[in-house]
Amino acid sequence: LVDAFTDEPLRGNAAGVVPDAAGLTDEQMQSIARELGASETAFLRPSEEADRRVRYFTPETEVDLCGHATIGSHALLYADSTLEAGTHTLATNVGVLEIEVESGGRVWMTQDDPEIREVEIGYDRLGSVLGIDPEAMRDVGADLPVAHASTGLPFLVVPVNFLEHVGNADPDMRAIEELSDEFGVAGVYVFTFDTLDAESTLHARMFAPGAGVPEDPVTGTASGAAGAYLDRFGAVDTDAMRFEQGHFLDRDGTVHVEIGERVRVGGDAVVSFEGRLLVPAASEDEILEI
């Protein structure tokens, strides 16, 4: 287990990492992810098109991309001296991504080209789904719309005026799952410019019950999408942003986002647990339970 977007164990977002997953079946990987119980587990495998291949599983399903598990995986390989500082390539379900590991251990993940589009949804409905006063969204929505945003994995990005409303959100998880299905997104990313740390660009929470993650502590892929969103609508005057997340789960962390020719998401990570997991032989007839 590797805690990403933090330099302290038991903070940030925990990712399972299986550094040598060659030969594991889909059923075995799904069972391992369920057993570890992290929001996502990364399974690293050999690749002919990149330095390595990765697949990501939540406790319930496979997802195409995961920022914090990517950051955690490469931080682990760097800490184990399996790879050196520099640029590496990673084959994912959404294509080959470029990963940079700094000499201090910080990992940067290059995102896909941004896809941003405004969506039509009433603030009264959003308020009911998220448990947030609709006026708190309608206020900031005069300048920043609700949007479908993706840099590899899509999210519904929802701006809110003050941290109080973000922190007091009482989301209806079933309604969020239905909303996510309706708009074809992995989850709903709620943010405010009203931050706890003066150096932060925004404070966020992300809900993805459809992927088996009611609330994700710190979300790399959503941060990349949100950074592209802010750039698209001219909401910030800098190419280097700092996002804070996870405080309302006591798993606070920091995501760094850079906007240039491509969007990059970066962060630190620390190994919090190492061990061995015994996996039953693959069965052609039934899903493994471990």
Q: What is the DSSP track for 91-121?
A: EETTEEEEEEE-TTS-EEEEPPPPEEEE---
Is the separation of the CB atoms in 39 and 13 below 8 Å? Answer: yes
Determine the residue type at 252: D
Residues 6+ apart with CB under 8 A from 261: none
Query: Which two three-digit tokens encode residue 278?
Result: 């015994």
**Cβ neighbour number for residue 284 with a 10 Å cutoff:** 6
Rg of the chain taking only CA atoms, in angstroms: 18
DSSP class of residue 210 equals G
Residue 156, helix vs strand vs coil = strand
Is the separation of the CB atoms in 76 and 271 below 8 Å? Answer: yes
Reference 129, options 193, 182, 183, 178; nearest CA is 178
Determine the residue type at 261: E
Residues 6+ apart with CB under 8 A from 199: 242
Q: Return the C-alpha torsion angle 73, 77, 79, 85, nearest 10.
A: -100
Query: Does the annotation count 289 as an active-site position?
Result: no
Catalytic residue among 40, 177, 215, 244: 40
Tell me the C-alpha to C-alpha distance, in Å, between residue 208 and each of 36, 64, 83, 115, 172.
18, 14, 32, 19, 11
- Active-site positions read 40
